[in-house]
Structure 1
Amino acid sequence: MKYCGECLSKLIGVIGSGSATTYAPLIVYEGSEDIVREESLVLIRDEARNLTYLGILRYLKRLEPFLNPWQRTSYVDEPSLVDSGTFPHTTGYVYIIGTIGNDGRLSTPVIPPNPGSKVYLIERADNIRLNLGSGLLIGSHKYSGIEVPLSYSALRYHILVVGATGTGKSRLVTALIREVINKSSWNVIVFDHSGLDYVPFFKEYVVNASDIVLDPLLIADNIARVGNVSNDRYLTDYITLASLTYSLCMSIKYLEEVPEELNEIMSKCKRVATECQASQGEIRGLSSVVDLDKVIDLMAISKLTWNRKCFRDLLISIAKSMGARESTLVRLSVITDLWLGDTFFKRLSNRYLLAKDLINKVFNDRLIVVDLSNEDNIVRRYIVTYMLKALWDLIDSERREVNTLIVIDEAHNYACRTCKPSVDLIARTAREGRKWGLGLVLVTQRAIDVDPDIRNNINTVLFSKLQTPSDYENISSFMSLAGLKSEYLMTLDKREFFLAGLGNPLKIPILIKVVEVK
């Protein structure tokens, strides 16, 4: 085997005719065919111009001039001739990354390599002097072991992690989170959809979503949805009024000390708090003084307890005072007692965390992991929205960068076109977040399910084996893949991902093996 004296890499072939600045045809030497693999890194040494190119091998093919499927030869009619001798050889393409300077830095190639330039295989990191700069180390090139740092700038320009179940997406993101915390000044908020992917690795930073206070309007929407009456305007009005009234009056009831400014509201809430009853006039009186933000604050301070029987009685009394028919009252009672039950109201109780509390916590601790596993999808979306809104309120009021990374697991449940209300604030973050140091990491099995308005603002993609061919087509529609074949993705093992886009210092997609996470 021949070696390059300068770089100790193995000589595997020469550049053929028809080279360009983006790719060049490769003719592989016969003795090197057993070590040449697609996605290997190679050097092209153009002695005539004293240039060294770095590239990636793709489209390897085995050819034989006498067995051309488009040309009839004597081999077709005399198969025995095959045994007497053929002349197979291997060709492929080197996709050119750049030219390597004396300092090891890469530059954009301005002229193609000369045909006849020798090509060397990089088998180890010490085969080459390559300066890719600093960054977040989440893995190294699969075959050479060269570390490929993810650029710090990728954080504010958003990252998409895509792969079928079992490819190791959560391990990759866990490695990324650790690097961000250890090597940058950024904070990280993680939304763990199942509570199984990130919670085990960051137990001391976990916040249970069941401790986060829910908006009374969301609670009303949830009750209407579970009771299958979301399209009934009258019933949803009754439920909304009951939810607001219960949240306000019962929060005041459970306060250890009632502030003086709440005395007026407390007097209007007296019958609600003692009898779980309210008339239309009482509701009108409360509506004139209610402040939704204040109600949510009171719910947190009092750790509001929800009682099914009391809420049912309040709901029925409100509906009755507003002229509801007897059949409607029975229906509301059935929804509360049978469709919802005590379990539903127990899950609403004893919540005490507000979005501003969590934002303060992440600025102090630099990391929080929100365990969403005990909530249904509607509540999960609300909590993501709640947190993003708090960050945007901070940005809008103080006009300063927040340097915070938002990691959303199973992002197709939050960032799809119909995933209201979370999709709207995720889309705003994708469009405007880079200006204010607010970045996204969306982790999903299906890239195609992410809303195009969000997808088109993502500048770095890490992808592995995909669920369907349409996902590959979708990624290639907004990210250059430089000749990468979708069929090759099916051969990838666990923790093997392609890094593409702005965060990739090598500019064209490169195959990395993600570091082991324990």
Structure 2
Amino acid sequence: MQLPANHRQFESEVTPDRRDANRSSDRALGRVIACSGARATIAASASGAGPGTLDGCAIGRLLSINLGTSRIVGLVYEMRALESAWNEAGCNSIAVEVELLGEVVDGENGTARFDSGITSYPPIGAPAHRIRSRDLERIHDLGQRKGIVLGSLTQDAGVAASVDIERLLSRHFAVLGTTGVGKSSAVALMLRKAVAAKPNLRVLILDPHNEYAHAFPENSARIDASTLDLPFWLFRFEEFADIVFRGRSPLEDEAEILREVIAVARSRYRTVSPQDMARDLGSSVLKRPLEFGAARRPADASGSAELAAPYRLADLFAAIDELIGLHELRYPRTTLRALRVRLETLHGDPRYGFLFAHANSMETIAPVISQVFRVPHRGRPITVFQLAGLPSEVVNAVASSLARLAFDLAMASRGSYEILLLCEEAHRYVPQDQALGFAPTRQAIARIAKEGRKYGAYLGLVTQRPGELDPTILSQCSTVFAMRLGNDRDQEIIRAAIADASASTIAFLSSIGNREAIAFGEAVATTMRMRFLEQRPEELPAMAGRMPAQPEHREPLVEELVARMRGL
């Protein structure tokens, strides 16, 4: 393509990058031949035998359009040959479509700044160049904000990809991507950097695949079914009912009975003497009479089944037995006996030992707070809560109670502790369909998403199915790392969330590489395509239970496997 006679004037105002001797000093790509409010077309040329001037221009890359004292930054989103046939012997005219993102403006003192939006549009004939490295640095510079380096720009590995750690956490974040693209590895990197930058941060990971403990061997505590103590009396009524009735909605009589006997058991626990308590611990039935109100409600507000106050299972059984023995039945005996059998079965199942084993030796939730939220952390501020070993019937209730406790602890600490709740497979807890999932879990996580930042309770969502995630809660995540997503519905979610000025970025979302992400939102200076730092094998999450092969490793007997499955 023939360049205008004054092209030397434009080139003299742009100093070529000469980072190594092998790099060409000519950064010219072509000239602007069309411009609209948000986009421009650049005419370039390519020889038949090679890329010609296009070796520095590719889909997803940034380039600059020179205006003298400022340079407009454009994102390449489409390239096409202007002729239908390719000329092997000569030059071929190429149209490069770019989206205009902002301007790099040179200041009077020689420093440059990047401004989003366009104040001066490029005239026809303005030259386009490969963007300078220092302009890339300026575009993604956080300024005075405290940043952590998570990787480098895909376009230039010499430019760091930094995020504002305060805004990343306090305004919530999401990591989205299909299976196998490196989501868990990226999350492990972020958490490692976050706890290093914020000493008062506590991280609770809801880990459904038991994979994160491997990534934090020195600064995390692992909690699984064998080490967990989560007393049954800590759960709210809906949570405990979900455990008792194994995920199905209780019938009206069942719900009323359970609510009433829990309230009575709590009331009795507060009035029993220490001697009676010591004598009755371990007893299955209490003989002391109980008074039940005539109405179908808890005995009083202070004994409500909603409060996380201790009570004993023995009192619960006693309350049911006394309802069964009443002359004037308020509930069917079959329903009462069925509820008692359910509770006895639950209590006797070794898989639910974490609910009952030490429940009556705890007077408060202080031991739970200390274990789960690392107060004090003793050098291990991260808690990996392994959900895979828990019975599937209790996972929803456990997740709900932990999310609720995270918010309450952050609020009660008045800034002394900041709590990050990280939800892997987040679509399980807050699905788009309101009829799916567990309502108390959705409410607890939504409370963190909407109100948590005021008290230091933060949320991190990780999912491979953003299209199945509650859009209201996802919209509360002010920073998003979008990794490879091939599903059209998932891409539509990103298209709705990303800024209009960089909407073309998602055009290549389905083809970016592993460890790559498009980061956008409040924690980054501007939308960027980045590659996360490569980590050592010992820093990566690994599927729990898959131990390295050992020469003399004995295969477990079938009886041992069955015992593990039963929680023995």
Fold-level match, TM-score > 0.5?
yes
Judged with a 3 Å threshold, the aligned counterparts in structure 2 of structure 1 residues 104 and 220 are, in CA distance, closer, same or farther, namely same
Residues 439-464 of structure 1: CA deviation (Å, up to 9, x unaligned): 32211122233323322322211111
1:172 match: secondary structure: helix
2:27 match: secondary structure: strand
CA distance in 2: counterparts of 1:275 and 1:454, whole angstroms: 44
Aligned to 1:37: 58
Given that 2:200 and 2:416 are in contact with CA atoms closer than 8 Å, whether structure 1 keeps it comes out as: no
Query: Which of 69, 73, 97 is residue 92 of structure 1 equivalent to?
Result: 97
Shift of 1:497: 0.7
Given that 1:499 and 1:512 are in contact with CA atoms closer than 8 Å, whether structure 2 keeps it comes out as: yes
TM-score when scaled to structure 1?
0.77
Judged with a 3 Å threshold, the aligned counterparts in structure 2 of structure 1 residues 242 and 129 are, in CA distance, closer, same or farther, namely closer
Judged with a 3 Å threshold, the aligned counterparts in structure 2 of structure 1 residues 478 and 201 are, in CA distance, closer, same or farther, namely same
Query: Which of 94, 107, 114 is residue 115 of structure 2 equivalent to?
Result: 107
* Amino acid corresponding to residue 44 of structure 2 in structure 1: V
* Equivalent residues in 2 for 1:300-379, closer than 5 Å: 317-322=321-326, 323=329, 325=332, 327-328=334-335, 331-332=338-339, 335=342, 342-351=349-358, 353-355=367-369, 358-359=372-373, 361=375, 365=379, 366-376=381-391, 379=394
CA distance in 2: counterparts of 1:10 and 1:321, whole angstroms: 95
TM-score when scaled to structure 2?
0.71
Aligned to 1:491: 511
* Equivalent residues in 2 for 1:164-243, closer than 5 Å: 164-185=178-199, 187-203=201-217, 204-208=219-223, 210-214=228-232, 215=234, 217=237, 220-226=240-246, 228=248, 230-240=249-259
Given that 2:74 and 2:98 are in contact with CA atoms closer than 8 Å, whether structure 1 keeps it comes out as: no
Aligned to 1:257: none
* Amino acid corresponding to residue 264 of structure 1 in structure 2: S
Shift of 1:241: 5.5
Shift of 1:394: 5.0
CA distance in 2: counterparts of 1:213 and 1:33, whole angstroms: 65
Query: Which of 145, 160, 166 is residue 147 of structure 1 equivalent to?
Result: 160
Judged with a 3 Å threshold, the aligned counterparts in structure 2 of structure 1 residues 221 and 138 are, in CA distance, closer, same or farther, namely same
Given that 2:495 and 2:506 are in contact with CA atoms closer than 8 Å, whether structure 1 keeps it comes out as: no
Shift of 1:163: 0.8
Aligned to 2:481: 462
What RMSD, in angstroms, separates the aligned Cα atoms of the two structures? 4.2
Aligned to 2:460: 441
Shift of 1:467: 5.5
CA distance in 1: counterparts of 2:253 and 2:160, whole angstroms: 62
* Amino acid corresponding to residue 497 of structure 1 in structure 2: A
2:503 match: secondary structure: coil
Residues 266-302 of structure 1: CA deviation (Å, up to 9, x unaligned): 6489678545255762677x96797579996757xxx
Judged with a 3 Å threshold, the aligned counterparts in structure 2 of structure 1 residues 114 and 183 are, in CA distance, closer, same or farther, namely farther
Aligned to 1:511: 529
Aligned to 2:442: 423
Aligned to 1:414: 429
Shift of 1:378: 6.2
> Identity of paired residues, percent?
18
1:320 match: secondary structure: helix
Residues 13-72 of structure 1: CA deviation (Å, up to 9, x unaligned): 2242333574432222321234421112323322xx3223333322222331x56xxxxx
Aligned to 1:62: 81
CA distance in 1: counterparts of 2:194 and 2:423, whole angstroms: 16
Aligned to 1:18: 34
Residues 73-116 of structure 1: CA deviation (Å, up to 9, x unaligned): xxxxxxxx999999452422153343143324323442123333
CA distance in 2: counterparts of 1:382 and 1:151, whole angstroms: 34
2:184 match: secondary structure: helix
Aligned to 1:255: none
* Amino acid corresponding to residue 414 of structure 1 in structure 2: Y
CA distance in 2: counterparts of 1:191 and 1:6, whole angstroms: 48
CA distance in 2: counterparts of 1:342 and 1:129, whole angstroms: 59
Given that 1:44 and 1:119 are in contact with CA atoms closer than 8 Å, whether structure 2 keeps it comes out as: yes
For structure 1, the residue ranges without an aligned partner over 5 or more in a row are: 68-80, 253-260
Judged with a 3 Å threshold, the aligned counterparts in structure 2 of structure 1 residues 83 and 487 are, in CA distance, closer, same or farther, namely same
1:18 match: secondary structure: strand
Query: Which of 502, 511, 518 is residue 522 of structure 2 equivalent to?
Result: 502
* Amino acid corresponding to residue 154 of structure 2 in structure 1: K
* Amino acid corresponding to residue 153 of structure 2 in structure 1: H
* Amino acid corresponding to residue 113 of structure 2 in structure 1: R
Shift of 1:471: 1.7
Q: Does 1:7 align with 2:14?
A: no
Shift of 1:364: 6.4
1:17 match: secondary structure: strand
* Amino acid corresponding to residue 449 of structure 2 in structure 1: A
